Chains A and B, each alone.
Chain A
Amino acid sequence: MRRANAGRLVVLPEVGIERPKLSLRGVGKIYRNARGEKVHAVDDVTLDVAPGEFVCLLGPSGCGKSTLLNMFAGLDRPTAGEVLIDGRPVRGPGPDRTVLFQEPALFPWMSVVRNVEFAMKLIGVPRSERRDRAMFWLGKVQLGRFADAQPHELSGGMRQRAALARALACDPEVLLADEPFAALDAQTREILQDELQNVFQETGKTVVFVTHNVREAAFLADRVVLMSAPPGTVVVERHVTAPRPRHYEDPALSHVVREIHEHLIKEVEKVVASEIGS
């Protein structure tokens, strides 16, 4: 990286990935807040995500990482630069890029299995195949027995699992996740991280995962992209080469965590300083 204190971090070559699945090209975002003031959320972010890569966007709150995710999802537009999927501009959301939100966002009027079938129904998958695929994915996330339950009958962790099954059942090319495990208790979070890792290994989907949790990022990602204090831009990138399936006890991971953590702390301190100063 361009910084002297980047230390042992891997310096990424300026030449990008040859055929990126997702790309941000000089992306910026300025929006007006409720008081009409201009907020510079994201500044000049350029990032490529390779097909089948697991990228974690990590950063202090307000660094625009969720904004970038929403741009990939087609739920938000940049005010500068381009957002590309397979080299073509993203035009609105679609089931080729499903999203796991921080809250499960299951439809409360549908049973769990109908939630999972939702996207398949829209693209016209025949009824019996729909059910088979939904049950397959519910089995993958250990919810086979709860197919006919209503979402409110499930625990928080089970709901997020159902949301994961729903996001994957329509066979998207890209899975986008916006701090999906942040609201769960620590044990449930680790179990779900493990399940997500398994799913990722089995399916080879491209994943962009937003988090503010360094351990989570190091555990899940092929590459951690650390963003700065607002306006958010990429500070440093770190490849995580530890073999999968990973375990939290892996010393290689704690090493990575320590490195990234030092950088993150600096950015968080900047945020705190600006909050106190303003």
Chain B
Amino acid sequence: MSRARSVLRELWPLAALIVLLIALWQLVYVTGFYNPAVFPSPAQVWDSLTQHVHDGTIQSAVAHSMARLLIGFCVSVVLGTLVGIAIVASSVVQRSVGRLMIGLQSLPSVAWLPLAYLLLGIGESAVMFVIIVGALPSVALATAAALGQVPPLLQRAGRTLGARGWGLYRTVVFPAAIPNYVNGLQQGWAFAWRGLMTGEIITYGAALGLGQLLTTAQQRLDAPEVIAVMVVVVAIGMIVDLAVFGALDRRIRARRGLLLPAVA
């Protein structure tokens, strides 16, 4: 049961924090400082959550959101990686596209929405567009940084062993860049996730995702549901980060001896 124990050791601080926050929340609720109509108790939120899981609203919203996110993220990873490679390959591209990407990265995804509506109409395509352009600069810059940080010594070693041109990239540069690239994807995922929420909260014409649930709940003045959906959004963010990127990152780094030994 060492695996269960290690999972427990990994997760107890987070679990403790959640318990603490819920306790604080309950305390504030009990004092009656805020109007209970807009400040529900943890129990009310839990009821709302279980109810919406029961009737399938949450699952369907999660499915819609994740489908959008996966497609949008994959497109931005493919495009962003290509842009990142181009930035490393050419100093002209670096000084033009590279600098533009830095500028675009600081543009919040919500600022893309008006243009997306005008170009693509208020609907599914606009949401997808916002996810892609939101994550692309971050993926491109992370790819460029990861490739730029490959130790020159490894490249020299590869060249003296006969790797050249594209072969050098395939056999040495890309594999050497993978740990930092995965960190970049993790960051890109966070940008895509935020872009998705932005797009969904504001866009009506698309199928109901988690963002639309938030909007409709707010319009019905259903505070428990608003918070319940937010909990789901944060939970998914944490789970993907821990279970997908975190696990991948740990595996790659352990294999290369880049992990610090666990503090006993």
Q: A residues touching B (Cβ–Cβ < 8 Å)?
A: 73-75, 92-95, 97-99, 101, 103, 105, 107-109, 118-119, 122-123, 150-153, 166-167, 170, 176
Cβ contact within 8 Å between B153 and A105: yes
Nearest CB of chain B from residue A22's CB, rounded to whole Å: 15
* Alpha-carbon distance between A126 and B221 when the two chains are bound, in angstroms: 70
Chain B 171-200, CB-CB to A under 8 Å as 1, else 0, gives: 110011010000000000000000000000
* Alpha-carbon distance between A151 and B172 when the two chains are bound, in angstroms: 15
A-B contact pairs, 28 of them (CB 8 A): A74-B160, A94-B162, A97-B160, A98-B161, A99-B156, A99-B160, A101-B153, A101-B156, A101-B157, A105-B153, A105-B154, A105-B157, A107-B157, A107-B158, A107-B175, A107-B176, A108-B176, A108-B256, A109-B175, A109-B176, A109-B178, A118-B171, A122-B162, A123-B162, A150-B257, A151-B257, A152-B256, A166-B161
Known contacts A95-B160, A109-B255, A150-B255; is-contact A103 B171 (Cβ 8 Å): no
Write the chain B residue with the least CB distance to A151: B257
Chain B 231-262, CB-CB to A under 8 Å as 1, else 0, gives: 00000000000000000000000011110000
Chain B 33-58, CB-CB to A under 8 Å as 1, else 0, gives: 00000000000000000000000000
Cβ contact within 8 Å between A107 and B172: yes
Known contacts A109-B176, A150-B255; is-contact A95 B153 (Cβ 8 Å): no
Known contacts A101-B156, A108-B256, A150-B256; is-contact A118 B178 (Cβ 8 Å): no
Does chain A have a CB within 8 A of B159?
yes
Known contacts A75-B160, A109-B175, A166-B161; is-contact A122 B167 (Cβ 8 Å): yes
Residues of the A chain whose Cβ atoms lie less than 8 Å from the Cβ of B153: 101, 103, 105
* Alpha-carbon distance between A31 and B172 when the two chains are bound, in angstroms: 28
* Alpha-carbon distance between A9 and B220 when the two chains are bound, in angstroms: 98
Contact of A118 among B161, B257, B258 (CB under 8 A): B161
Write the chain B residue with the least CB distance to A95: B162
Nearest CB of chain A from residue B243's CB, rounded to whole Å: 23
Nearest CB of chain B from residue A135's CB, rounded to whole Å: 18
Cβ contact within 8 Å between A105 and B156: yes
* Alpha-carbon distance between A98 and B158 when the two chains are bound, in angstroms: 10
* Alpha-carbon distance between A97 and B167 when the two chains are bound, in angstroms: 18
Nearest CB of chain B from residue A160's CB, rounded to whole Å: 13
Write the chain A residue with the least CB distance to B257: A152
Given contacts A95-B162, A103-B153, list 4 more A-B pairs with CB under 8 A: A94-B162, A97-B160, A109-B178, A122-B162
Does chain A have a CB within 8 A of B163?
yes
Nearest CB of chain A from residue B1's CB, rounded to whole Å: 27
Does chain A have a CB within 8 A of B164?
yes
